[in-house]
A = this chain, B = another copy of it.
Amino acid sequence: MEQTPSCRVETALEILTGKWKPSILLELITHDTLRFSELKRHLPNITQKMLTAQLRELELNDIVHREIYQVVPPRVEYSLTDYGKTLIPVLHAINAWGEKHVDHLAQKEMLQETTASSASDSF
């Protein structure tokens, strides 16, 4: 990384950021293939507009595949592309650090409480 600008990090983060993208990716990782309505059911608070928008961005970046069945009512299935699956280890790394971070914050809070209580002890 030393000789490359940070823009590769930013390139990757552009694909991952977006309020719903990690959740969508997780769903597709664990369920393999999901219809639009199934995704929506798994993500109770997302609006249709956002789900469409985030899926379109992921599709543009070749992360997810969109399979349309010409039936009525419509049936559209989403899944990770092979290329999209190369993101999985990266997501694991990010997730693992996130877990460590939650622990770290908890430790910091404990320290503060200890300090606070010991401070109140001395008063």
Contacts and interface: CB of A to CB of B under 8 A. Distances in A.
A12 B30 CA distance: 20
Contact-residue size bin, chain A (C-beta under 8 Å from the other chain): 35 or more
A29 interface: yes
B94 A9 contact: yes
Contacts of A90: 93-94, 97
As for how many copies of this chain the complex holds, the number is 2
A47 interface: no
A21 to B, nearest CB: 9
Interface of A: 1-2, 4-13, 15-17, 22-23, 25-26, 29-30, 61-62, 83, 86-87, 89-102, 104, 108
19 contacts: A2-B29, A8-B94, A8-B96, A9-B95, A11-B98, A11-B101, A12-B95, A12-B97, A12-B98, A13-B16, A13-B17, A13-B98, A15-B101, A83-B104, A87-B97, A90-B93, A90-B97, A93-B93, A94-B94
